[in-house]
Amino acid sequence: MGPNYLFELNGSVSVGLSAFIWAGIDVYLTRITFYRKQFDIFNAILVDFNYDPLDPGELATFDDTTGTLRLKMGEDSPLGVPNETFTVKQKGENLVVSAYGMSQEFAAAGITKITADAGEGNDTVIIRQGVTAAVELHGGAGDDTLQVYG
């Protein structure tokens, strides 16, 4: 994946103006304070930013005209990383697609077929027991593992 996938980057750039009032006696190494007050006059955020390199967006797309759920891996992957692992499982009335440490749910009722083209790399696709849709999986260059337990 590369080092840019190890970190999230977020923050902001802001400006402000503060005032500080102090009254007291400063004697050599000792300070005696009679009055101390700090207050903000003005604060504003100029820019907020958030970069999460592991946000793949959608893990799969559903075509309701054909009833096909297509896993976004291989050349369809928004991250473009090799050696992907996708899992599809039944959870109540939904199918859950998991990859990259994230999950996305789809209503199982309209899904008649699950497809994936893993492309290059050592990819893994696991269709768990309980998934009743037809499955069409294609490996590609590399040492792929395609498991269907449905």
Q: Each residue's pLDDT tens digit in the chain (150 positions)?
A: 445 555 667 788 999 999 999 898 988 888 888 999 998 999 998 888 776 665 557 889 999 999 999 999 888 887 777 888 999 999 999 999 998 888 899 999 999 999 999 888 899 999 999 999 999 998 888 888 898 987
Contacts of 74 (CB under 8 A, 6+ apart): 84, 116, 117, 118, 119, 120, 123, 140
pTM, entire model: 0.63
**Same-domain check for residues 20 and 84:** no
**Domain membership flag for residue 25:** yes
- Residue 98: give its domain's CATH number: 3.100.10
Handedness of CA 116, 87, 82, 145 (dihedral sign): negative
**Domain membership flag for residue 1:** no
**Same-domain check for residues 120 and 86:** yes
| CB environment 45-74: b (16+ within 10 A), e (fewer) | eeeeeeeeeeebeebbebeeeeebbbbbbb
Domain that includes residue 45, residue range: 9-50
Number of domains within the chain: 2
**Same-domain check for residues 46 and 68:** no
